[in-house]
Amino acid sequence: MNRLKDKVAIVTGGARGMGAATVRLFVAEGAKVVIADVLDDDGAKLAAELGPAARFVHHDVTDESGWRLLIDFTNQAYGPIDVLVNNAGVLLFKTIAETDKAEFERVVGINLVGCFLGTKLVGAQMIRRGRGSIINISSADGMKAANGLGAYSASKWAVRGFTKVAAMEFGHKGVRVNSVHPGGIDTAMGNPYAEPKAEVNKRYAMVPLQRVGDPSEVAYTNLFLASDESSYLCGAEIAVDGGMLTGQYYVGFPGAPGV
Ligand code: NAD
């Protein structure tokens, strides 16, 4: 109940999906949370549901001056920021040949530049206080390749690398920076046609746990990284992927599914 007692957090992309699951869990564990998203209806509805411990702010993570307003709002509403979850993201499913420059730049702008701005600007306040936890949501696609995900994968590999640099520059100033690498998660992004879980699970037959992940399973990892329980983690990368990144089964070999 109190794993985040008295902590103040910002969750970008917190209006739905795993961001919303993170917001809910953080509030349940005693945090005060600002939900920052471009989805006004979803964000306002979630904040209303959670009561005084959550507020919604319309915020586009690519907007530098918007970050300053978001930080001021959070400071005034709840006080100094202890936790930032850079979770906002977009997916583009196209081959490199089909992707045009503007599309590539949009994905990198939201997924990577947004993460940079948040880390830099919220991180500056954390450094002044000598404490804080920044959680950058990368992806399993920030650790492997996947056809059709050139822009997305590039942005998520970059978030992973950027997180390591931030960990080095911020760690000795008391601010921990870590990355989380979800595999397939049952959200609007991971399951865009809202298919039943049993259907989606079929696509994960060759992942060791053989199922799609639930947003709450990423939220619990974010909770650990946000809390003081992870006080010695800095520059870590945590895969929440049902084992997807562990390896590739040799079909028919001993130990493979169905053998
Ligand atoms: P989602 O689409 O449900 O949520 C993404 C949220 O980001 C939305 O609320 C959206 O409005 C917000 N957002 C998009 N652009 C924004 C912007 N410019 N400014 C502020 N907010 C913006 O998807 P999700 O699955 O919950 O994704 C959350 C994060 O997890 C993303 O970074 C995504 O890349 C990553 N991820 C998802 C999966 C998956 O399978 N679902 C796997 C690996 C990583």
Q: Is residue 252 part of a domain?
A: no
CA 89 – ligand 1 centroid, Å: 4
- Name the band, by pLDDT with cuts 50, 70 and 90, for residue 259: confident
Rounded to the nearest angstrom, the distance between the alpha carbon of 159 and the centre of ligand 1 is 14
Is residue 103 assigned to a domain?
Answer: yes
Number of domains in the chain: 1
pLDDT digits (tens, 9 = 90+) for 20-70: 999 999 999 999 999 999 999 999 999 999 999 999 999 999 999 999 999
Can you give the pTM of this predicted structure?
A: 0.98
pLDDT, residue 104, reads: 98
- The pLDDT, as a whole number, for residue 173 is 98
CA distances from 3 to 29, 88, 207, 228 (A): 5, 24, 31, 8
- The catalytic site residues sit at 152
Burial class (CB in 10 A: 0-12, 13-18, 19+), 235: middle
Residue 1: per-residue pLDDT = 81
254 lies in some domain: no
Question: Does the residue 2 lie in any domain?
Answer: no
Whether pLDDT at 18 is above 90: yes
In the block, tokens 């306002």 appear at 44
The answer to whether the Cα torsion of 151, 13, 235, 134 is positive or negative is: positive
- Residue 197: how many other CB atoms lie within 10 Å: 11
Does residue 123 lie in a domain region?
yes
Handedness of CA 137, 141, 144, 149 (dihedral sign): negative
Confidence of residue 181 (pLDDT cuts 50, 70, 90): very high
For the chain, what is the mean pLDDT? 98
DSSP-derived 3-state class of residue 259: coil
Strands (E), the chain: 8-12, 32-37, 54-58, 83-86, 132-137, 175-182, 237-240
Burial of 170 (0-12, 13-18, 19+ CB in 10 A): buried
Residue-level pLDDT at 6: 95
CA distance 36 to 11: 6
Tens of pLDDT, residue by residue over 128-153, are 999 999 999 999 999 999 999 999 99
Q: Which residues pair with 33 in a beta bridge?
A: 9, 54
Residues in the chain: 259
Does residue 256 lie in a domain region? no
Question: Does residue 153 line the site of ligand 1, with CB under 6 A?
Answer: no
The domain that contains 22 carries what CATH number? 3.40.50.720
The span from the CA of 259 to the CA of 119, in Å, is 46
Residue 19 Cα: closest atom of ligand 1: 26
- Tell me how far the alpha carbon of residue 87 lies from the centroid of ligand 1, in angstroms: 6
Cα 257 to middle of ligand 1, angstroms: 31
Average pLDDT estimate for 204-228: 98
**CB 213 near ligand 1, within 6 Å:** no
Ligand 1 contact via 214 beta carbon (within 6 Å): no
The first and second tokens of residue 123, run together, are 């991180």
Angle value at C-alpha 247, between 94 and 186, nearest 5 degrees: 50
Atom of ligand 1 nearest to the CA of 182: 43
139 with 160: CB under 8 angstroms?
no
- Ligand 1 mutation pick, 41, 59, 187, max ligand atoms within 8 A of CB: 187
First to last CA, the chain: 43
> Which tens digit of pLDDT belongs to each residue from 74-131?
999 999 999 999 999 999 999 999 999 999 999 999 999 999 999 999 999 999 999 9
Per-residue confidence (pLDDT) for residue 22, from 0 to 100: 99
**pLDDT for 97:** 98
**Ligand 1 atom, smallest distance to 18 CA:** 26
pLDDT at 179: 99
SS3 203: coil
Domain around 194: 8-246
**Both tokens assigned to 44:** 């306002």
Ligand 1 pocket member 118 (CB < 6 A): no
